[in-house]
Amino acid sequence: MYIAVDMGATKTRIASSEDLSSLLKVKRFYTNKNPVTQKQIISSGINELTAGKEPAFVCFGVPGAVDRQIGNFVKVPNYKEINGKPFTALLDEKYLGNAFVENDAALGAVGEAILGAGKDFQRVGYLTFGTGTGGALVVKKGHGEFGYESGEPGHTIIVPGGRVASSCNHAGCMEAYTSGHSFEALFNIKPQNCSDKGVWAKYAEYVNLGLSSIYMTWKCDIFIIGGSMALEYDLFSEFLKAPVPVVRSLTLDDAGVYGGFVLTKQILSSR
């Protein structure tokens, strides 16, 4: 039994799989702001899905950057409590020998590129707009293999000298204009309650600035939009403009756990 954990700043999903391409069971819950409690909830969730057995492998996504050389979380702007802490701050020691920790947006990108809307494209640009804005580029190499580059596309500057998101210190970065949190701060309304076309057109303008700038480095064949803002995709898709097609994520909330299993498959086959 394989386990994938996709921990976002707001929501966490834990899934089990036998074949590394379909989900057996999924548990979803709100991310606990206390890492000690969050770690306990994750451990008992894994235990429940494996019926107490040792999982064959755990792929673990976190909302930030990781340093696998030293085994630390390094830059987690939307869950600062674990910044600089070892992986064991969230993942039980007993899983560490057979685990891979990665940025959650990178997992989402891999899931969408291989099993979702990016299936038929070679260079897949995935952007997730949720609590924060993140993403990754997935490049397929043939024979089912792929590489990916996560970086921090969400912190691309789109409005020089512009507003600062609560999560980082970059004036005018994409996250400060396109994340769910920033939407609320900018337009004084929760995205799920907004039906004002003018607001959505303005929101899309910011997304477009990010897409055209990120395209210059990624040169992707398609952009896929994921994260909680993708649930409102129909409200702003007509205003989106990019050098390549833009589509909505197919696996939506499950992109990260799908990606966790796809990545596990590649890791295990290269061993």
Which residues here bind Zn ion, judged by CB under 5 A? 155, 168, 170, 173, 175
Q: Which residue, 36 or 164, is less far from Zn ion as judged by CB?
A: 164
Rounded to the nearest 10 degrees, the angle between the axes of helix 180-187 and helix 197-218 is 140
What are the φ/ψ torsions at residue 18 (nearest 5 degrees)?
Answer: -100, -35
From the CB of 83, what's the least distance to Zn ion, in Å?
15
Q: Residues near 124 by Cβ (< 8 Å), separated by ≥ 6?
A: 109, 112, 113, 118, 137, 138, 139, 140, 220, 221, 222, 224
CB of 31 to Zn ion, least distance (A): 20
> 247 and 237 in contact (C-beta within 8 Å)?
no
Question: For residue 62, how many other CB atoms are within 10 A of its CB?
Answer: 26
For Zn ion, which is the closer residue by CB, 175 or 232? 175
Least distance (Å) between residue 175 CB and Zn ion:
5
> Is the Cβ of residue 139 or residue 168 nearer to Zn ion in the bound state?
168
Residue 169 CB, shortest distance to Zn ion, in Å, is: 7
Q: Which is nearer to Zn ion, 170 or 265 (CB)?
A: 170
Under 8 Å between Cβ of 62 and 7:
yes
* Smallest distance from Zn ion to CB 199, Å: 22
CB closer to Zn ion out of 173 and 194: 173
- CA dist 245 and 221 (Å) reads 7
